[in-house]
Amino acid sequence: MRYRTCAIALFLIPALVISVVCGTTFGAASLSFGDVLHILAGETFGGSLPNSLAGADNIVMQTRLPRTLLAAVVGAGLSVVGVAIQAVVRNPLADPFVLGISSGASVGAAAVSIFGLLAGLGLYALSTAAFLGALLASAIVYLVARTRHGLTPLRLVLCGTALAYGFSAITTLIVFRAPSADAARDVLFWLMGSLAGANWGSLPIAAIAVLLGSGYLWLCGRGLNALAMGDETAATLGVPAGRLRVRLFVVCALLTGVLVAVSGAIGFVGLMLPHLVRMVTGADHRKVLAIAPLAGACFLIWVDVASRTLAAPEELPLGVLTAVLGVPSFLLLLRRRSYQFGGQ
């Protein structure tokens, strides 16, 4: 199984590089692979570019490349958080948004778009408000779900689900009170997931958060294996289930907050990708967490390419496409008699 995991990684790494190049090439404006490779090589190694590529250079470096890289980062982050959350709450239907975090972020984003809150932050107002909303939702879930015995999977899911409904109602009310149809449309588009606002300023924060969060979750792979088997089994293996669940909850909540702040609520990635990866790696979370980021990054890059090209020059919300792809894939997965949560 170890060799299979290495082989999958060796396949996905070049696939990710190819996906980034393709994601930078395809779009409403027609660019050739040769021009894109020339531009990327020139910007990377300091070579000069001909004047004929000046316009293409601006499209590639200021719009498509940061957007494609952010798609990879968000896809990787949602995948690893999905793996961790499914083990923490021991629920195969869990995803990064099951704790109500995305709903809290949506309230913050809607308040900025409709009422102009935090306008002094300029371009960063939406992301900041979404992140603060996610933190507020995380804090409420933690305070309500926590007992003297710690956090339990059932209470986390119930509190997160209830909170999600509450925040969704607040978001709906805010959109209903929108002063213009354009403002309401912008909020609804963001709620379904979008990378249209990607730029070099938002990329480093998200990338660092995903890198650190993924590394920490991989180091907790043995503990995640124990949590997936139940708290009593974890205790017999010497894993403090209560304390570990709290730490994982905090990491997953912060990471989800960062991702939702830069991309909106993109569903099905954190639900579907962990199961698909388990089908080829097995149940060991250390192996799943090594492959899931690569698979999630490749997947969301191509979803973003489709969102930009299928209805060009208009864009489709990412959440619509992930649902279109995710629903039939997940139903087919459930039809596989050999598949069970946690492995084959």
Give pLDDT, residue 210: 95
Task: Say which DSSP state 32 is in.
Answer: -
Delineate the domains of the chain, giving CATH numbers in brackets. Answer: 71-335 (1.10.3470.10)
Q: Which residues contact 236 (CB under 8 A, 6 or more apart)?
A: none
pLDDT at 339: 56
Low pLDDT (below 70) residues in the chain:
1, 47, 119, 122-123, 334, 336-344
HSE, CB side, 13 Å, CA atoms: give it for residue 174: 26
Q: How far is CA 303 from CA 173, 203, 287, in A?
A: 30, 18, 25
Q: Classify 157 as helix, strand or coil.
A: helix
pLDDT per residue as tens digits for the range 300-342: 999 999 999 988 788 888 989 998 888 887 777 767 655 555 4
pTM score: 0.90
- Kindly report the CA angle at 188 between 91 and 327, in degrees rounded to 5? 40
- 3 state SS of 147: strand
Residues 118-137 have pLDDT tens digits of 767 766 787 888 888 888 88
Q: Are 123 and 130 in contact (CB under 8 A)?
A: no
Whole-angstrom distance, CA of residue 17 vs CA of residue 254: 27
Please report the pLDDT score of residue 343 as a whole number.
44
The answer to whether 295 and 280 are in contact (CB under 8 A) is no
The continuous run of DSSP H or E covering 280 comes out as: helix 269-281
